[in-house]
């Protein structure tokens, strides 16, 4: 459970920064095309996760899955995180030295200079979260 919580928090923290980085490196006129890759990779990741579960269910018995097989997806995720750390270290900073040396660079004060943009992002995030959040089971025994 702790590993799953850490995984969820990590994804949540990386989502916004990933979207920002993609939009910053996009060539002029191609920002939406580049931005679509973030959504594509989310769906691709879900499909790969589902495929992993199906393969595990087809190759392992129910007892093996309960004893040790459930760890395999976490092991795959741990290996993937090593690759991500390497990729992150190889990324180039998109901000100029002039931008990074501004007094309010990277601060909440600097962010709220763009109130309309912040409000739009919050509204879209709330709308997307409300429409895509799965409903919780009503039966307590299903937990």
* Domain-wise residue ranges, the chain: 1-94, 95-133
Pairwise pLDDT comparison (128 vs 37), residue with the higher score: 37
Average pLDDT score over residue span 25-45: 82
Residues 129/37/108/92 CA torsion (nearest 10 deg): 160
Would you tell me how many other CB atoms lie within 10 Å of the CB of residue 18? 16
**pLDDT higher than 80, residue 66:** yes
pLDDT bracket for residue 28 (50, 70, 90): confident
């Amino acid at each position: 459970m702790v590993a799953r919580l850490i995984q969820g928090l990590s994804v949540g923290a990386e989502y916004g920064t990933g979207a920002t980085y993609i939009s910053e490196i996009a060539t002029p006129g191609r920002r939406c095309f580049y931005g679509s890759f973030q959504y594509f990779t989310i769906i691709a990741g879900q499909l790969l996760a589902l495929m992993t579960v199906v393969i595990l269910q087809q190759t392992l018995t129910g007892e093996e899955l309960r004893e040790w097989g459930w760890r395999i997806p976490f092991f795959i995720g741990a290996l993937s995180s090593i690759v991500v750390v390497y990729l992150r270290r190889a990324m180039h900073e998109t901000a100029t030295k002039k931008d990074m040396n501004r007094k309010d660079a990277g601060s909440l004060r600097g962010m709220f200079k763009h109130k309309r943009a912040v409000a739009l992002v919050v509204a879209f995030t709330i709308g997307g979260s409300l429409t895509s959040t799965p409903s919780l089971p009503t039966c307590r025994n299903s937990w």
